[in-house]
Amino acid sequence: MPANTALWLNAKGAPFTVGPAPYTAPGANEIVVRVRAVAVNPFDRAIQTMGGIITPWISYPFVTGSDIAGEVVEIGRQVTRFRIGDRVLGYAAGSDKRRNRAAEGAFQDYVVLLAHMAAPIPDAMAFEEAAVLPLGVSTAACGLFQKEFLAMNAPSSALAPKGETLLVWGGSTSVGSNAIQLAVAAGYDVVATASPRNFAYVKRLGAREAFDYRSKTVTADIIRALRGEKIAGAVAIGAGSAASCIDIVGACTGNRFVALATPAASFDDVPAGRGRLPRLAAAAARMVAGNIRLALKARLRGVRTKFIWGSDLIANEVGPMIFEAFLPSALADGRFVAAPSPTVVGAGLAQIPLALERQRQGVSATKLVVTL
Ligand SMILES: NC(=O)c1ccc[n+]([C@@H]2O[C@H](COP(=O)([O-])OP(=O)(O)OC[C@H]3O[C@@H](n4cnc5c(N)ncnc54)[C@H](OP(=O)(O)O)[C@@H]3O)[C@@H](O)[C@H]2O)c1
């Protein structure tokens, strides 16, 4: 049995530490992957600093992390899609309430994956590139395709234009980059927001038009651009995105629904460990007030909203829709690309906390990756 090592979170708010971990064999519908690259996400930091609030079910010691790419080393007895040695990307679902399992956290050498949340990657795609996709594509897919969200048509190679337009606020984020591509692959027009330096980037991914989210006239500009069109709704990503999307969608015809990716308040200034309680309480108060304001605004504008939980697709038809039916062929024929592009910040599990801190300071149209 191979020796495994993990980046452990031994208790709520504890520092990350590297140490030995058990190697876990796959269950019937699981595979084990030798991880070669992981990407880091705001959610990984959030679990460390406020796991007691957002993931109260987690049993410690725990291994966090969602995004991996690597090679399949062992296959569960009911798995037919993979062979040992296959190069794959996958969504490590350990932090999800339904899994709550350290063996399924990304930040270790050998990770157990749900087979239906993994996809083969083309030979020409580096592990570092592939690792940027899983949580970004999953969160975007949850917002776009789940029935209780935007309920859009599934992405397909037989592209029939739907005649509807999706607004992606935060198009250059990791979630937004995937939302643009998925919507275009499903036959929708897309308008997106980004910083002007990323206009060309979001257009390359398929957005028809790009708008600067910092512009004072952005809301009016987008409403004008969408006049006479039927909208598929909006995905709100980034600070302040929800209020603007509600204003825009509320002034449009079509599906007046905003799928929310970003919480109403940021917890970025809450440190792990000592001194966290006063900041945590202040952030929680901002969150409650922000949610009330958004609910009132949405009701006033006749817009429905719902907060996305990016791992919900593990338990419904959207997981297989993306990882089994869509990604394998779309990655192979180049219809879907790994975006945003990776910035490799180091090698080895010990580099992950540094990558998380760099992520907290902010990135633009890139995803931070650590190789293992
Ligand atoms: N609900 C869930 O399950 C779930 C899952 C994953 C992520 N998220 C959330 O989704 C958000 C994005 O995460 P990510 O990993 O995709 O982010 P990311 O790629 O790290 O975000 C970086 C990008 O954010 C953009 N940005 C910064 N401030 C913005 C604003 N006010 N409005 C719109 N865009 C802004 C920047 O765009 P420019 O450089 O073009 O200015 C930059 O490209 C975060 O709030 C994260 O917590 C939620």
Predicted confidence (pLDDT) per residue in 298-329, tens digit: 999 999 999 999 999 999 999 999 999 999 99
* pLDDT score, position 50: 80
Average pLDDT over residues 167-192: 98
Cα 190 to middle of ligand 1, angstroms: 18
Compute the mean pLDDT over every residue in the chain, rounded to the nearest whole number: 95
Confidence of residue 297 (pLDDT cuts 50, 70, 90): very high
Confidence of residue 267 (pLDDT cuts 50, 70, 90): confident
* pLDDT score, position 156: 85
273: pLDDT strictly greater than 80: no
Average pLDDT over residues 31-45: 96
Q: Which atom of ligand 1 is nearest to the CA of 41?
A: 15
- Options 3.30.70.1280, 3.30.565.10, 3.40.50.720, 3.40.50.150; CATH of 137-307: 3.40.50.720
Cα 237 to middle of ligand 1, angstroms: 6
58: pLDDT strictly greater than 80: yes
270: pLDDT strictly greater than 90: no
* pLDDT score, position 213: 98
Establish whether residue 175 lines the binding site of ligand 1, counting it when its CB lies within 6 angstroms of any ligand atom: yes
* pLDDT score, position 165: 98
Strands (DSSP E) contained in the chain are 4-9, 16-21, 30-39, 67-75, 87-91, 110-114, 118-120, 165-169, 189-194, 209-212, 230-236, 253-254, 257-260, 304-307, 341-347, 366-371
Q: Identify which of 169, 237, 361 to mutate to test ligand 1's pocket (most ligand atoms within 8 A of the CB).
A: 237
Establish whether residue 353 lines the binding site of ligand 1, counting it when its CB lies within 6 angstroms of any ligand atom: no
Q: Which atom of ligand 1 is nearest to the CA of 340?
A: 19
Comparison of pLDDT for 14 and 40, the residue scoring more: 40
Longest dimension (CA), the chain: 62
Q: Identify which of 168, 173, 180, 313 to mutate to test ligand 1's pocket (most ligand atoms within 8 A of the CB).
A: 173
Confidence of residue 340 (pLDDT cuts 50, 70, 90): very high
Do 13 and 7 meet the contact criterion of CB atoms below 8 Å apart? no
Fold of 4-133+338-371: Quinone Oxidoreductase; Chain A, domain 1 (3.90.180)
Residue that is written with structure tokens 């984020």 in the block: 173
User: Can you read off the two tokens belonging to residue 10?
Assistant: 């031994």
* pLDDT score, position 298: 97
Return d(Cα 217, Cα 219) in angstroms, integer.
6
Which of 293-329 are b and which e, b meaning 16 or more Cβ less than 10 Å from the residue's Cβ? ebeebbeeeebbbebbebbbbbeeebbebbbeebbbe
* pLDDT score, position 282: 85
Is there a shared CATH topology between the 4-133+338-371 domain and the 137-307 domain? no
* pLDDT score, position 125: 98
Return d(Cα 267, Cα 246) in angstroms, integer.
22
Residue bearing the CA closest to ligand 1, atom 39: 364
Establish whether residue 95 lines the binding site of ligand 1, counting it when its CB lies within 6 angstroms of any ligand atom: no
Residue that is written with structure tokens 């028809």 in the block: 208
Gyration radius of the chain's alpha carbons: 20
Average pLDDT over residues 321-350: 97
Which of 254-278 are b and which e, b meaning 16 or more Cβ less than 10 Å from the residue's Cβ? ebbbbbbbbbbbebbebebeeebee
Average pLDDT over residues 7-27: 95
Cα 114 to middle of ligand 1, angstroms: 26
Cα 47 to middle of ligand 1, angstroms: 17
* pLDDT score, position 302: 97
pLDDT tens per residue across span 96-153: 999 999 999 999 999 999 999 999 999 999 999 999 999 999 999 999 999 999 999 9
159: pLDDT strictly greater than 80: no
Cα 49 to middle of ligand 1, angstroms: 18
Residue bearing the CA closest to ligand 1, atom 44: 262
Residue that is written with structure tokens 């979170």 in the block: 9
Q: Which atom of ligand 1 is nearest to the CA of 142?
A: 3
Average pLDDT over residues 175-199: 98
* pLDDT score, position 283: 82
SS3 3: coil
Query: What percent of the chain lies above the pLDDT cut of 70?
Result: 99
Query: What percent of the chain lies above the pLDDT cut of 90?
Result: 87
Domain ranges of the chain: 4-133+338-371, 137-307
Q: What are residue 292's phi and psi, to 5 degrees?
A: -65, -45
| Nearest alpha carbon to residue 175 among 287, 305, 262, 291 | 262
Return d(Cα 276, Cα 271) in angstroms, integer.
5
Average pLDDT over residues 75-93: 98
CA angle 315, 320, 325 (to 5 degrees): 170
